[in-house]
Structure 1
């Protein structure tokens, strides 16, 4: 997989560290944020983002789904990967097009597959 820049938005530090390590092992450049507001600040600041990887349940006033909608308003073609241990992908309304869903706990091989699919535009 060609190197891609992933903005990882996860408020659980251990999960963030694990996923960040896995993404780095796959050759991704990883930028981490622990809240939707922090992620939007990064995007608004011109930070490199090829894929937004966000937890659904985030602290603060915005969910991961709301973050994805705001990020898409700024970057209409930005691929999004949603993650949750509480929900399944079909439980959620309002997911942006060209997105994928990863259930927690994560599997490294599935994570790689989803990133490869979304990076080349075959996931909806």
Structure 2
């Protein structure tokens, strides 16, 4: 077990993962499983947004790659989700260096390759920040 998993609090909601690389998508799922989070996986933001529009489940976090197939790219997806559900936290990842000025302050950016420990710490920090804001 990853020692960082012990720091993660239990999850009650589903995390949306949007990643076109099937290996990375399954790695993120495995990490989320290890910390007790449920996840729904998508290879395109178009599919993920349609899913979110059609479901009434609460989603506290989206983890999204920037470069995706389809019409909607990662940053655009995050903006669309935030406009409709302002409380949803977001992690944007990319294998390409993104210009820091193009990343909104409300988005957490992880440059690939990130470590599983960094992803777990980032998820925990974001969701704990949300919990404190609601208290």
TM-score (norm 1): 0.88
In the TM superposition, what is the alpha-carbon distance from 1:81 to its structure 2 partner? 0.5
Instruction: Tell me how large the CA RMSD over aligned residues is.
Output: 1.7
Q: 1:117 aligns with which of 112, 116, 125?
A: 125
Q: 2:111 aligns with which of 103, 112, 116?
A: 103
TM-score (norm 2): 0.81
In the TM superposition, what is the alpha-carbon distance from 1:82 to its structure 2 partner? 0.5
Match of 2:41 in 1: 32
Question: How has the CA–CA distance of structure 1 residues 29 and 49 changed in structure 2, closer, same or farther, with 3 Å as cutoff?
Answer: same
Structure 2 unaligned spans of 5+: 1-8, 131-135
Match of 1:2 in 2: 10
Match of 1:58 in 2: 68
- State how many pairs are aligned: 120
Please give the secondary structure, in 1, of the residue aligned with 2:96: coil
Mapped partners of 2:65, 2:121: distance in 1 = 18
Structure 1 unaligned spans of 5+: none
More helix per residue:
2
In the TM superposition, what is the alpha-carbon distance from 1:95 to its structure 2 partner? 2.5
2:68 is the counterpart of 1:87: no
* 1:54-89 Cα distance to aligned partner (Å, 9 max, x none): 001111111100000111111011100001111247
Q: 2:82 aligns with which of 68, 72, 78?
A: 72
* 1:82-121 Cα distance to aligned partner (Å, 9 max, x none): 011112472x515362x21112112111011100111022
